[in-house]
């Protein structure tokens, strides 16, 4: 990917984030499309459970949607979203271990 194409992708993503912050669910849907594979893979790697990973990925996106206002740097959206996904997976594992 050329530097120009990469900058266009970053600019596009920043525009989607800003629009989603303003309540644009279609813009957030574009972010979901871009990141759904990595979010699912992250949760699946943490949990080792593909069925749970589907639900947890949805939960991660829901938390991201509600937390966009707390995201300081739009350039850190990807790492921030992956951290949410990792944390959802860890929480799921902790709850599963506590069950009798």
Give the whole-angstrom CA distance, residue 43 versus residue 84: 9
Signed CA dihedral, 46, 50, 52, 57: sign only = positive
At 50, list the tokens: 């593909």
Average pLDDT over residues 57-78: 95
CA distances (Å), origin 32, targets 19, 25, 39, 97: 14, 10, 9, 30
Structural domain count, the chain: 1
**Domain CATH code at residue 80:** 1.10.1740.10
Expressed as residue numbers, the domain containing 23 is: 3-98
Each residue's pLDDT tens digit, 1-36: 565 555 577 789 999 999 999 999 999 999 999 999
Q: What is the pLDDT of residue 8?
A: 72
């Amino acid at each position: 990917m050329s530097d120009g194409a990469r900058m266009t992708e970053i600019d596009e993503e920043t525009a989607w984030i800003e629009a989603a912050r303003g309540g644009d669910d279609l813009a957030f849907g574009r972010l979901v499309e871009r990141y759904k594979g990595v979010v699912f893979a992250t949760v699946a790697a943490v949990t080792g459970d593909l069925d749970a990973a589907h639900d947890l990925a949805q939960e991660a996106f829901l938390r991201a949607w509600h937390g966009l206002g707390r995201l300081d740097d739009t350039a850190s959206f990807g790492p921030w979203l992956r951290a949410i996904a990792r944390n959802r997976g860890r929480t799921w594992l902790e709850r599963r271990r506590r069950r009798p």
